[in-house]
Amino acid sequence: MKMFALARLSRVLLIATFGFTLAEQAAQPRRDVFFVGGRYNKVTIMTGQIYVERLTPPNVTQANPLVFIAGAGQTGTNFLETPDGRPGWASFFLDKGYIVYLSDQASRGRSRWQPSVGSMIASGTEKVEEIFTALSKHNLWPQSKLHTQWPGTGLVGDPTFDAFYASQVQYMPDSNIYEDENTAAYSALLDKIGAAHVFTHSQAGSYGWRIGDARPSLVKSIIALEPAGPPFDGRAPFTGNKTWGITYEKVEYEPPIGNDSSLLDTVRVPAPDADHNDCILQRDPARKLKNLMDIPVLVVTSEASYHAPYDYCTVAFLKQAGVQVEFADLPKEGIHGNGHFLFMEKNNIEIAERILKWIESV
């Protein structure tokens, strides 16, 4: 009797304190946290590990989970909620029955950074306004004037901008180090959790290709949200030549080229119009990305982003290399006004619905 009374009291206190019953508590997603990957450096410190959150819905209905990898200066919080307080993509896909893995890149956010690995930089408010949140006010590329979906003004002092900028973290400018660290760490994550659909954003785009190359049997699909590009070239606002085509470090080609990326024979293809960049592609016959050929890929590009002038080059390169790629060029599908952070903008759920249909089709 005494035990029953204690149990009843606990239930009353739970409702009074948190506002939900035990049944309601059971209906909430479960959150687990762990670290994976990394290696000991001279035994005294560990580098290269990543922080991971596993969010499990009350009713798991999908066989393969989703892994989200955020871009430069970002963390896994990108996908939890929008800066103006609306549900993010994590909530959307949890509601659809998917287990969701959010993470911070190696040497980023909650994934420990060691100064010996590389130096750090951070983006100032002006840069963030110009290329992420207030594109139409700066007109730095032809499509930027079409930006309408960012909530608020996109300028310093606006509550949504301030919330977004507060979430920005430092990052290493050395793409080669980051690509190697994260390829190893996310490969270890897939070894731990099994096959998954991998979402990459921006800088993390090249990691997706490397992870698919390293673990082709564990990558069910790659959803590349404006992946680092274009092939080979560095284009403003982020420069740096990808000597292996769509990556900074080695991926496997067929016929093989060993460790010598200079064996990729390239040609510059003129832009189709004034709103797009020219492309560097392989000269025919093109070598194939042999470990990516059986992985379905969706490349998603916004109307107003700085990726709008050149993501078509990345798609062309992938097709040339034998990859099963679909191009979700959002304005051509009637989804207008988005910038680079499409998953935070006013129509973020509309875009998530588009991606969900594709995942269900593969």
Among 111, 175, 202, 206, which one carries the catalytic annotation?
202
Q: Which H/E stretch holds residue 101?
A: strand 100-104
The pLDDT assigned to 241 comes to 86
User: How far is residue 40's CA from residue 111's CA, in Å, rounded to a whole number?
Assistant: 14
| pLDDT per position as a tens digit, 233-292 | 888 777 778 999 999 999 999 999 999 999 999 999 999 999 999 999 999 999 999 999
Q: Which two tokens stand for residue 260?
A: 């010598």
- Assess contact for 185 and 38: CB atoms under 8 A: yes
Which residue from 342, 346, 350, 352 is spatially nearest to 152, judged by alpha carbons? 346
User: How far is residue 211's CA from residue 206's CA, in Å, rounded to a whole number?
Assistant: 9
List Cα–Cα distances, 158 to 27, 88, 161, 188, 231, in angstroms: 35, 20, 5, 40, 36
* Phi, psi values for residue 127, rounded to 5°: -65, -45
Query: What mean pLDDT is reported for the chain?
Result: 93
Mean pLDDT of 130-151: 97
- pLDDT surpassing 70 at residue 11: no
Whether 202 sits among the annotated catalytic residues: the reply is yes
Q: Residue 135, Cα to own-chain centre: how many angstroms?
A: 21
Could you tell me the pTM of the whole model?
A: 0.92
* Phi, psi values for residue 50, rounded to 5°: -125, 145
- pLDDT surpassing 60 at residue 13: no
- Assess contact for 182 and 207: CB atoms under 8 A: yes
Q: Which two tokens stand for residue 332?
A: 């051509």
Architecture of domain 29-361: 3-Layer(aba) Sandwich (3.40)
| pLDDT per position as a tens digit, 112-125 | 888 888 889 999 99
